[in-house]
Amino acid sequence: MPVRKSKQPDRILAVASSGGHWVQLLRILPAFENADIAFATVLASCRSQVPNNRFYCVNDATRWNKMGLFKLAIRIAWIVLKERPHVVVSTGAAPGYFGLLFGHLVGARTIWVDSMANAEHISMAGSLAGKYADLWLTQWPHLARPEGPYYGGSVL
């Protein structure tokens, strides 16, 4: 997915929560080969899975922890400003939502791939991030809508 015409590789910020979100994020990375990728997630132990890339560990937070969400938003905003990505890609949850929001605000192209676990409905974070996504995908064909999210297959 070429984003711009330059001799420099595209800078991508890949953001996800832990667990299945992180696994799915790693599975789509071959689509970005030859890019300069930085990662942000909530578990420091994930660093070992992407040893040759810049890596940021952020706090995890949910809608029930407003102070945690605020701290997470500030941290992700700082990472976006530091990295200046051309593309922000996420497979989900709160860190990804903030990644897409702030990426959109600085002019990055944004990609949201809703988690495979959300088989009955689009995730809350996905519903919120959809308005900031240049490409908004679901992994379930019955959840696709003409206005997005779109179905293009599954990651797992």
Please state the three-class secondary structure of 12-72 as a single string: EEEEECCCHHHHHHHHHHHHHCCCEEEEEECCHHHHHHCCCCEEEECCCCCCCCHHHHHHH
Residues β-bridged to residue 150: 137
What pLDDT does 117 receive? 67
Q: Hey, what domains does the chain have and what are their CATH numbers?
A: 11-151 (3.40.50.2000)
On whether the CB atoms of residues 112 and 96 are closer than 8 A, the answer is yes
Q: How far apart are CA 18 and CA 96, in angstroms?
A: 11
Going from the first residue of the chain to its last (156 residues), give the mean pLDDT of each consecutive group of 10, the final group possibly shorter: 65 96 93 95 98 97 94 98 98 95 98 78 76 90 82 75
What pLDDT does 57 receive? 98
What pLDDT does 3 receive? 52
What pLDDT does 1 receive? 46
Whole-prediction pTM value? 0.90
